[in-house]
Each structure stands twice: as C-alpha cells, then as structure tokens.
C-alpha cells in the first residue's frame, strides 16, 4: 500500500507565465505546499498568484557554499512535507529533469519510501534553443554536456554534430561553490576544444528570453574569444559542427548486401 503523502515535480518553463503546461498548473494549484526553484523574484511572485504557500529555495544558495549541500537541503525540505502526509509540488524553472539533480533525486527517494512521486515535463532552455537557433538535433546530431564535467572527464567529441555546453559560466569550477569562473578556466576549455575546433570557429552564446518583452541573446563569437566574453548564469554555449558527416562505408556496404539478399 502506498503512503499518504505525494510529490509532483514540475517545470515552470523559461518565459515567465507563458511556458507552464496546463497539467503542471493544475497540480500546482491543487498542492498543499509548493517549493520554488526559479530564477528570480518576479517568477516567485507569479507562482504566489496561483498558490498561497509558496516556499522559495533561493535563500539556500550562497556564495562559497557547496551546491551539493543546497540540493540536499531542498530534498530534505520537500521530503519532510511528503512524510507529513502532504501533497507537495516542487516547481523548478525550465524542465525539472534537464540538468537538475534535486528533482530526480527527490523522486527516487520518495518512491523508495513508498510515496507516489511523478515528474511533469516543462519547456527547457534546450527547447527554446532548438527553436531560436533553428537547430534540429535530428539533422546532424547534438551532444549535450555540463561544461565542467566535460572538462573533468575524457569525453569523445563528435565534431560533425552540434556540441552544447551547459553551465558555461561555471566551467572548470571544482569547488561547486561559485557563481562563475574566470578567463583562465575558459582558456583551458578553449584549449581542450582546440583539437576539434579552430580558435576562429564561430560559436554562439545563447540565452533564451525569460520575460515576454525580451529577445533571446544569440551572440556569435570566435571560440578563441570565449575567455573574455560576457557570460551569465543563463548562458549556454553552442558549437556548430566543424566538419561534415563522415560516411561509414563499411556499414553502408553491409546494409547494401542485406538488401541484395
Ligand atoms: C542547472 S541548469 C537548469 C536547466 C533547466 N532545468 C532547463 O530546463 O532549462 C542551468 C543551465 O541551464 C542553461 N539555461 C538556464 N536558463 C537559460 C536560458 N534562459 N537560456 C539559455 N540557457 C539557459 C544554462 O546553461 C544554465 O547554466
């Protein structure tokens, strides 16, 4: 038998008031308590128009404090209310399952403890990116990486596909406690990429519009200029392919042979 409390983790989308799905909105309004992990006070105020008990996670973020600790606190706060038998909603900006640790973890833990737990999709920065930049991931493929993880581990880059680096402003942060890193870390990233992309390769700093009156930022720069570029917590770096798709002649020949059978 399932325990009484339940949790729904939903996405509020990127653009204020415009991206939340009808199903997410109805869960939000039906909840006993709403926890909010959104990017600004205006979005919190908008959530408060739909529910009178919205608790912000914003004060949990502090310069110099490990984000691991912050995420654990979010999880604990949500689970405490679930264990008290409440219907808890965790409202995360964008899509709650895209480049976000706490949403997946809290669902896993709630289910382990016998509570009903569900994630509802939201409009991610990725969705806006594909629309604004006109990139169809099906055309030549598209790789997504978190920028620091891309630097810390050996990755296999396919330069015939798009490469999208998330959290670019935190690239190379080993402390997990900063709000940005510096030109030196970005220079190392440029060096790491230089095996596949020349310094003059044109890349785009992308920021989806989060207010209805804003335009997306789509700033094209040479990769070599990344260390001095203006980056914010909203910036995502997109590298278009640097070489065309290479045919897999062996596989094509084998497929041809199959057809001829
Ligand atoms: C922790 S992730 C959260 C992503 C979020 N869950 C989503 O679905 O978009 C934060 C990263 O998402 C990207 N991001 C967030 N807001 C963005 C925006 N408005 N435009 C472009 N990228 C954004 C940036 O790479 C940022 O560092």
Q: What angle do CA 101, 173, 222 make, to 5 degrees?
A: 105
| CB of 166 sitting under 6 A from ligand 1 | yes
pLDDT score of 134 more than 90: yes
Residue 234 CB–ligand 1 contact under 6 Å: yes
Specify whether the CB–CB gap between 226 and 189 falls below 8 A. yes
CATH of the domain at 91: 3.40.1010.10
- pLDDT bucket at 19, cuts 50 / 70 / 90: very high
Nearest alpha carbon to residue 211 among 26, 72, 18: 18
Give the pLDDT confidence of 215-229 residue by residue, as tens digits: 999 999 999 999 999
- Together in a domain, 171 and 229: yes
Does 231 score more than 70 pLDDT?
yes
Rounded to whole angstroms, how far apart are CA atoms 146 and 170? 9
Among protein residues, the one with the nearest Cα to ligand 1's atom 4 is 99
Place of tokens 């039906």: 30
Number of domains, the chain: 2
Does ligand 1 come within 6 angstroms of the Cβ of 135?
no
Quick check: CB of 210 below 6 Å from ligand 1? yes
67 as an active site residue: the answer is yes
User: What is the pLDDT confidence band of residue 180, given thresholds at 50, 70 and 90?
Assistant: confident
Average pLDDT, the chain: 96
10 and 47 both lie in a single domain: yes
- Per-residue pLDDT, 1: 62
Q: Indicate whether 126 pLDDT > 70.
A: yes
Q: Do 89 and 166 reside in the same domain of the chain?
A: no
What's the pLDDT at 178? 74
- Given 93, 162, 197, 206, the catalytic residue: 93
Rounded Cα gap, residues 84 and 174, in angstroms:
37
Active site residue 93: yes
The confidence score (pLDDT) of residue 192 equals 97
pLDDT tens-place string over residues 187-209: 999 999 999 999 999 999 999 99
Task: Please indicate whether residue 115 is annotated as part of the active site.
Answer: no
Paired with 144 in beta bridges are: 164
pLDDT digits (tens, 9 = 90+) for 27-68: 999 999 999 999 889 999 999 999 999 999 999 998 888 889
Longest CA span, the chain: 68
User: The domain containing residue 27 runs over which residues?
Assistant: 6-123
Look at the block and give the residue holding tokens 């992308």.
Answer: 206
Same domain, 34 and 108: yes
Has residue 176 been placed in a domain? yes
Identify the weakest region by mean pLDDT among 69-78, 155-164, 174-183.
174-183
| Domain shared by 49 and 132, yes or no | no
Strand partners for 35: 55, 90
The verdict on residue 246 lying in a domain is no
139/210 same-domain check: yes
- Rounded distance, CA 165 to CA 153, Å? 14
Identify the residue whose tokens are 């404090």.
65
Cβ partners under 8 Å of residue 98, min gap 6: 124, 125, 126
Distance CA 60, CA 75 (A): 12
Options 55, 61, 67, 243, the catalytic residue: 67
Q: Report if residue 80 sits inside a domain.
A: yes
């Amino acid at each position: 038998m399932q325990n009484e409390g339940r949790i729904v983790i939903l996405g509020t989308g990127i653009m204020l008031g415009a991206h939340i799905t009808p199903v997410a909105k109805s869960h939000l309004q039906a909840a006993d308590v709403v926890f909010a992990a959104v990017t600004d006070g205006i979005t919190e105020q908008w959530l408060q128009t739909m529910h009178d008990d919205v608790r912000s996670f914003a004060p949990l973020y502090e310069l110099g404090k490990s984000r691991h600790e912050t995420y654990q606190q979010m999880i604990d706060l949500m689970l405490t209310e679930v264990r008290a038998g409440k219907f808890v909603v965790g409202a995360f900006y964008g899509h709650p399952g895209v480049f976000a640790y706490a949403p997946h973890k809290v669902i896993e833990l709630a289910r382990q403890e016998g509570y009903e737990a569900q994630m509802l999709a939201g409009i991610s920065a990725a969705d806006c990116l594909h629309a604004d930049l006109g990139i169809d991931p099906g055309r030549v493929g598209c790789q997504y990486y978190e920028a620091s993880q891309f630097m810390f581990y050996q990755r296999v880059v396919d330069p015939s596909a798009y490469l999208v680096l998330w959290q670019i402003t935190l690239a190379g942060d080993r402390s997990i406690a900063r709000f940005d890193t510096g030109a030196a870390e970005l220079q190392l990233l440029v060096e790491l990429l230089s095996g596949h992309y020349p310094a003059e390769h044109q890349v785009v700093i992308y920021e989806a519009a989060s207010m209805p009156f804003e335009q997306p930022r789509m700033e094209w720069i040479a990769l070599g200029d990344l260390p001095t570029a203006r980056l914010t917590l909203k910036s995502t770096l997109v590298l278009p392919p640097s070489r065309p798709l290479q045919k897999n002649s062996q596989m094509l020949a084998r497929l041809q042979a199959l057809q001829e059978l």
